[in-house]
Amino acid sequence: MLQIKNLSKSFGQRTVLQDLSLHIAKGEVYGLLGANGAGKTTTINIICNLLKADRGTVLIDGQPVSEQTKSLIGIAPQENLLYKVLSCQENLEFFGRIYGLSGQVLRKRVQECLEAVNLSDRAKSPVETLSGGMQRRINIAVALVHQPKLVILDEPTTGLDIETRYEIWHLIQQLQQQGITIC
């Protein structure tokens, strides 16, 4: 699903990535670990086509990273990118439309994503009224709304209580069982 070969990136004189290579198979859960400044976010930005590598290749489902591969990726960044005054449902609808979903398909995906993160009962609640853990779960639901093949979760359990961490880990297991690759 994700192949990285000899990926390198520098910012001026500072080398952030040097010859990173890895292969993540379909349905695999892979954790990218490293100290602050080790290049994890840079790698994610290159995979998402937000940043160009100096050298190396990145393939998603056999395709070079490009505008066309963006639809294959769902990302839940460390910082929630939600519109706090909108409801959970409205956030999912908004982001679904960005990915070209509409009508019955969009309504169905919104409901499925709310169920997946166990927040169907909060569909109409403004995001600003939710706990931090609930907001994190909606952020993950946004990453799933367009049915990506690869989901990137940047520190999905940071700042969450132990119960909510278990819920996120359980969700990751469910996504893996559906054949979704998680990094």
- What contacts 81, CB < 8 A, 6 or more positions away? 139, 142
* Residue 18's CATH number: 3.40.50.300
Q: How far apart are CA 110 and CA 123, in angstroms?
A: 9
Residue-wise pLDDT for 142-164, tens only, equals 999 999 999 999 888 877 888 88
Total domain count, the chain: 1
Residue-wise pLDDT for 28-61, tens only, equals 999 988 888 888 989 999 999 999 999 999 999 9
Range of the domain at 171: 2-182
- Say yes or no to pLDDT of 98 above 90: yes
Q: Residue 160: what pLDDT?
A: 81
Q: Which is nearest to 1 in space by CA: 145, 147, 151, 143? A: 151
Please report the beta strands in the chain, taking only residues with DSSP state E, as ranges in sequence order.
Answer: 2-11, 14-24, 55-60, 63-64, 73-76, 150-153, 181-182
